[in-house]
Amino acid sequence: MSDSPTIRRATPADVPALARMLARAFYDDPIASWAWRPDRLRERAFERFQLVRLQQLLRDEEVWTTAELDCAALWAPPRRWRISWGDTAQFTRSFAHPRLLARMPLVAYGWHKLEQEHPPQPPHWYLAVLGTDPASQGRGLGSAVLAPVLERCDADGVGAYLESSKERNIDFYARHGFRVTDVLRLPRGPRAWGMWREPRA
């Protein structure tokens, strides 16, 4: 039997490697494919996006990763999941190519719609991103990096929320207690599944 993966909080020094890993993990993601076209520009653009998102969420020290930096869960604590206008403006660097810049208004509108559908109450943890390097999938790393915050949710009696961009991932999240509460449609784009988790006794 293989050893359980070593899980720890990410640090600022981990950000570049984690951003590259998440860009690989989300290369074929439906929402990433919708936001960053054409395909040849996506990985680098998404890496820039994740650099910003990681730096933002590291403020609360709830980004969990493996010792090898091949999987990560990016969480926002209760009441801190809304993205400020300043944070949103930082994402523009991931569209710094003429072919991508033209899509930015549509993508910004779609992200705004997702945030509008995000349940404001009760206070909850928000799983903003969960990604595993394609070469490391199937080893239970996703479950491992989810565990610290889900255990805290259960201990504190607090719920959790996420949007799944792939229908095939719904069963994975269901095994961790999440259930689909809404199906969201991005403008001229794919669906996303809003999922809520009640704390376990």
- Which amino acid belongs to residue 159? G
Domains present along the chain, CATH in parentheses: 7-197 (3.40.630.30)
Containing H/E element for 192?
Answer: strand 191-197
Please report, in tens digits, the pLDDT of each residue of the chain (201 residues total).
Answer: 457 899 999 999 999 999 999 999 999 999 989 888 877 878 888 898 899 899 999 999 999 999 999 999 999 999 988 877 676 676 777 776 666 677 778 888 887 888 889 999 999 999 999 999 999 999 999 999 999 999 999 999 999 999 999 999 999 999 999 999 999 999 998 999 999 999 998
Backbone phi, psi, residue 47, to 5°: -60, -45
pTM of the model as a whole: 0.89
CA distance 201 to 189: 38
DSSP three-state, residue 174: helix
Cross-strand bridge partners of residue 178: 197
